Structure 1
Amino acid sequence: MVSNYAVVLGILCSVLGLIFYTSTFPSLKKFYDIIPPVLLSYFIPGLLTTAGVFAPEVVGDDSAIYKVVSQYLLPATLVLFTLSMDLKTLKRLGFKTVMVFLAGIIGVVTGGPIAVWIVKQFSPATVGGEGADAVWKGLATIAGSWTGGGANQVALKEIFKPSEKLFSQSVSVDIIVGELWMALMIYGAGKSLAIDRFFKADASAITEVQVKLEAYQAQNQRTPQLRDLLMIIAIGLGVTGFAHAIADTIVPILKEYPGLERFSLTSKVFWIISMATIVGITLSFTPVRQLEHVGSSKIGSVFLYLLIATIGLKMDLWAIADNPGLFAVGVIWILIHGVFIVLAGRLFKAPFFFMAVGSQAAIGGPASAPVVAAAFHPSLAPVGVLLAILGYAIGTYAGYITGLLMQWAAY
């Protein structure tokens, strides 16, 4: 068993490098269309742990690697994603885009407790449990993923503290159900003209934004210099340090009121994540957001995939066999989300592009929303990123509310 943290980190980085290097091979395009890099980034480290490659002490919550990525890289990831928000571009698409996206978020927030309640009627044990094994705590991490992304999922894991076994089961539901949903959205992209005719939707706004995005990218993107990269690191980790300082000040005061613990308001992680997100959104209205031209969100993505791979280390790939009923919760949940998306599309006569990308920005986040957007046209990929970034801004809060509602529904 590998117990040296340097070796573990080297293996994780090598796995990520191999995944993304081979994802550019034309001969493997069909493979990666079916099994995207984000899925492999979770499961390959999980396979290595299941095979006994890593010692238990290097894959748990107390491991040095997990502490670094969860306490330092996670808040920095949220800062670097949210500071690049461009509300003007979203505004050009009209209110329909954001409204369909928000309808999808509402579908996740309401669908979670409804799915828990439905499954509870047939199998109370599936959604029961106490303490760290309370199923709603694991499902809350899915809510973070389905309203924001991987960083929000990790944030809610740190806030609600589900057991590792329960979290592994939840990640399996998240990935498998979520990837099947993405496949459905990509399939729909090929039928978008027929779907738009059915909804009587006008897609001219998409064409206009497509032209403007191509011109904007060509004019502003530039090769990053050392100064730029250091500024990105300074902002990401500097805000992270500020968020830690605020949490260290607030939490001891709140602990004087025991009733707040039930809502996780005495959790340092909750305040760290909240402050990092708020500051990141604030910075998006300042010249700091120009760091996106030199790759701030790409650095954030590097941090995110290190998070994903580290979480993968903790996965027990046999755990899902202990509670297969969780898949029923996931399927019912995502179907309710789909109903909200379709109703919003019908109400606003929105093109299928808005429905597909808005849905995937919620369910898949920045890792897959651009893939769905690019299935319509490559230049539209940034629209998926923008909506997914909006999801990152609200994902932790939406997931937190969903978790509390599922707690109520489960008991």
Structure 2
Amino acid sequence: MHNPPFFTDDTIVFGILMFLIGLVFYTSSKEEGFWKKFYSIVPALLLCYLLPAFFSSFHIISPEWTEPDSKGEIVTKSSKIYFVASRYLLPAALVLMTISIDLKALLNLGPKALIIFLAGTIGIILGGPVAILIVSAFSPETVGGQGFDAVWRGLSTLAGSWIGGGANQAAMLEIFKYNQQKYGAMVLVDIVVANIGMAALLYGIGKKEVINKWLKADNSSIQELQDKVSSYQESVKRNPTLTDYMIIAAIAFTSVGLAHWGSKVLADFFNTHFETVRDPKSFASTFGGTFFWMITIATILGIALSFSPLKKYEGAGASKIGSIFIYILVASIGMKMDLFAVLENPGLIMVGILWMAIHFLIIFIVAKLIRAPYFFIAVGSQANVGGAASAPVVASAFHPSLASVGVLLAIFGYIAGTYGAILCTYLMEIVSPQ
């Protein structure tokens, strides 16, 4: 936790984020010279993520800080930009980017996406104990500890977060009773390592042709889906009017309203009628969370609208507006990354990086064996580690129409997260030094 950053007003911070996004898009539009060479190496989406991270690292902006209140007591304050982006702009983006989807072509992507996702889950389950074994060989105190201070208990929360999400992470804290005074260090490892992993995936998107060639991947189903959507976009393309933009905004935010209303109704229903949902130790606890239902309902609404006449608003730029929302979400996620935090607890950060490397190793080996394209690697990994908030971001970087693939895989992660994390934790307990 830090003292207040230079800018604490969210209006100013949002202006800075929009300036950075605009700067990236302006420079990446240059078709010759330095910027053309630069963006052939560094993807624009990655820069939209890293620039806010630099501003946050140098304490110009910050997602969270402490300061004294009027009574002199120290209180925690936070930026609301990520909350707004993830709760309002993300569901709006999912609807607008899914409205032109070809569901039959989406289903034709086949089982490879699910196989790679499960490989990523196995990579997280095995990565934790293997990382502990490696680190314990030269620094046993880093991964040791007794009782409720045992590091393996704290690492259980990472397993929950990286297979499922926040609800699964909270469940692991409840189940294994890690010392909450030390829990902040685990949250730091989660944020730093997960963001490093996401940055690596975004960088790989710029090299996807080279990676696919090495994997000998069959990219035909993904290309077919992209071609179908692109052909449809061209067939309905027109110069949008103010009325078109108003209707697109109405589609997006009416859907957001329905998703929020439906998520509250469903979460209340499941919490009221199913005891297992109220149990944080159960995988079913996911169904008691509003975020899970909000993302699910928004995706279903987008798919349903793809069968309606409203689909034609893709021709007026529906998915492009959805992409704007996604880039704002990317910048708000980047703002949460403190690049200097790596130096605060290098031992645990090393455990996390080794863990993430094993996850990537397993997922790449499986992809190589089944000749799965890099798209499935990137989205399958992020559906595990990042969940429904960031998996669509990575998927849409390939093509806006693919955002729903990230959501569908992330939903599997929410369901598998608790039990996968429990298995991982028991393995970590077995190999941890006493």
- CA RMSD for the aligned pairs? 3.7
CA deviation vs aligned residue, 1:185-223 (integer Å, no higher than 9, x gap)? 33245679xx48xxxx8x999998898777555433222
Picking from 316, 327, 330, the partner of 2:353 is: 327
Q: How many angstroms apart in 2 are the aligned matches of 1:208 and 1:51?
A: 44
More helix by share: 1
CA deviation vs aligned residue, 1:54-84 (integer Å, no higher than 9, x gap)? 3665898843323322221122122222333
TM-score, L = length of structure 1:
0.74
Q: Which amino acid is 1:244 matched to?
A: H
Counterpart in the other structure of 1:381: none
Determine helix, strand or coil for the equivalent of 2:288: coil
Counterpart in the other structure of 2:370: 344
Q: How many angstroms apart in 1 are the aligned matches of 2:96 and 2:87?
A: 15
Counterpart in the other structure of 1:7: 12
Equivalences for 1:148-167 in 2 at 5 Å? Answer: 156-157=165-166, 160=169, 165-167=188-190
Picking from 29, 32, 38, the partner of 2:36 is: 29
Counterpart in the other structure of 1:150: none
Q: How many angstroms apart in 2 are the aligned matches of 1:157 and 1:339?
A: 28
2:287 maps to 1:265:
yes
2:47 maps to 1:40:
yes
Q: Which amino acid is 2:240 matched to?
A: P
Equivalences for 1:100-179 in 2 at 5 Å? Answer: 100-123=112-135, 125=143, 128-130=152-154, 134-140=157-163, 156-157=165-166, 160=169, 165-179=188-202
Q: Which amino acid is 1:400 matched to?
A: Y
CA contact (8 A) 1:76 1:236 kept: yes
CA deviation vs aligned residue, 1:146-191 (integer Å, no higher than 9, x gap)? xxxxxxxxxx458757966244213333224324644663324567
Residues 314/282 of structure 1: CA separation in 2 closer, same or farther (3 Å cut): same
CA contact (8 A) 2:277 2:286 kept: yes
Residues 359/218 of structure 1: CA separation in 2 closer, same or farther (3 Å cut): same
CA contact (8 A) 2:116 2:363 kept: yes
CA contact (8 A) 2:367 2:373 kept: yes
CA deviation vs aligned residue, 1:27-48 (integer Å, no higher than 9, x gap)? 2123223221222222211211
Q: How many angstroms apart in 1 are the aligned matches of 2:220 and 2:91?
A: 38
Picking from 244, 249, 252, the partner of 2:265 is: 249
CA displacement at 1:51 relative to structure 2: 1.2
Q: How many angstroms apart in 2 are the aligned matches of 1:189 and 1:167?
A: 29
Counterpart in the other structure of 2:298: 276
CA deviation vs aligned residue, 1:116-148 (integer Å, no higher than 9, x gap)? 3433444584983549x92224424xx7xxxxx
Counterpart in the other structure of 1:379: none
Listed as ranges, the gaps of 5+ residues in structure 2 are 1-5, 67-75, 137-142, 145-150, 171-182, 383-390, 427-434
Q: Which amino acid is 1:312 matched to?
A: G
CA displacement at 1:6 relative to structure 2: 1.7
Residues 74/36 of structure 1: CA separation in 2 closer, same or farther (3 Å cut): same
2:391 maps to 1:391:
no
Give 1 or 2 for the bigger CA radius of gyration.
2
Determine helix, strand or coil for the equivalent of 1:105: helix
Q: How many angstroms apart in 2 are the aligned matches of 1:44 and 1:204?
A: 34
2:70 maps to 1:70:
no
Q: How many angstroms apart in 1 are the aligned matches of 2:60 and 2:329?
A: 19
Percent identical:
28
Residues 46/186 of structure 1: CA separation in 2 closer, same or farther (3 Å cut): same
CA contact (8 A) 2:42 2:203 kept: no
CA displacement at 1:308 relative to structure 2: 1.5
Q: Which amino acid is 2:56 matched to?
A: T
CA contact (8 A) 1:116 1:409 kept: yes
CA contact (8 A) 2:53 2:336 kept: yes
Counterpart in the other structure of 1:292: 314
Q: How many angstroms apart in 1 are the aligned matches of 2:44 and 2:115?
A: 28
CA displacement at 1:287 relative to structure 2: 2.7
CA contact (8 A) 1:58 1:65 kept: no
Further displaced range: 178-187 or 273-282: 178-187
Counterpart in the other structure of 2:98: 82
Q: How many angstroms apart in 1 are the aligned matches of 2:99 and 2:77?
A: 29
Q: How many angstroms apart in 2 are the aligned matches of 1:30 and 1:369?
A: 24
CA deviation vs aligned residue, 1:222-242 (integer Å, no higher than 9, x gap)? 222222222222122111111
